[in-house]
Amino acid sequence: DSSNELAVCRVLLADLEAHQDAWPFLSPVQHKSVPGYRKVIKKPMDFSTIKEKLTNNLYLNLENFIVDVNLVFDNCQRFNEDDSEIGRAGHRMRRFFDKRWTELL
Ligand SMILES: Cc1ncccc1N[C@H]1CCCS(=O)(=O)C1
């Protein structure tokens, strides 16, 4: 049921935030210090924003939560070279997340 799913979301988010490769995703990208970001990335998302949405009950189920987490990683792949610090962190975080939430199913 959705209350259990929301408990799962909180566990998953805590795991994402605790990961050593989470640093690029913990807070919103400061588009003033990242030229082109606001133009290229139509729907910015980051872990602190997801936490805020969780707290404000804006996720009705696990699926809605997973859509936002994947948005973080899709934005990262769109903007960052695969062979870059942030690009590699994004791939590692996506792999970690995919494995983690399927374990919890
Ligand atoms: C995920 C991402 N994509 C593109 C550019 C930058 C970022 N993340 C930044 C977030 C704030 C800290 S940082 O500035 O080191 C990295």
| Per-residue b or e along 62-71, where b marks 16 or more CB atoms closer than 10 Å to that residue's CB | beebbebbeb
Residue 34 has pLDDT above 90, yes or no: yes
Over the stretch 74-95, which tens digit does the pLDDT of each residue have?
Answer: 999 999 999 999 999 999 999 9
Residue 105 has pLDDT above 90, yes or no: no
Cα(37) to centroid of ligand 1, in Å? 10
Nearest CA to ligand 1 atom 6: 29
Which ipTM value was assigned to this complex? 0.94
26: which residues sit within 8 A by CB, 6+ positions away?
17, 46, 47, 48
Average pLDDT, integer, range 50-62: 97
Q: Which atom of ligand 1 is nearest to the CA of 23?
A: 12
Whether the pTM exceeds 0.90: the reply is yes
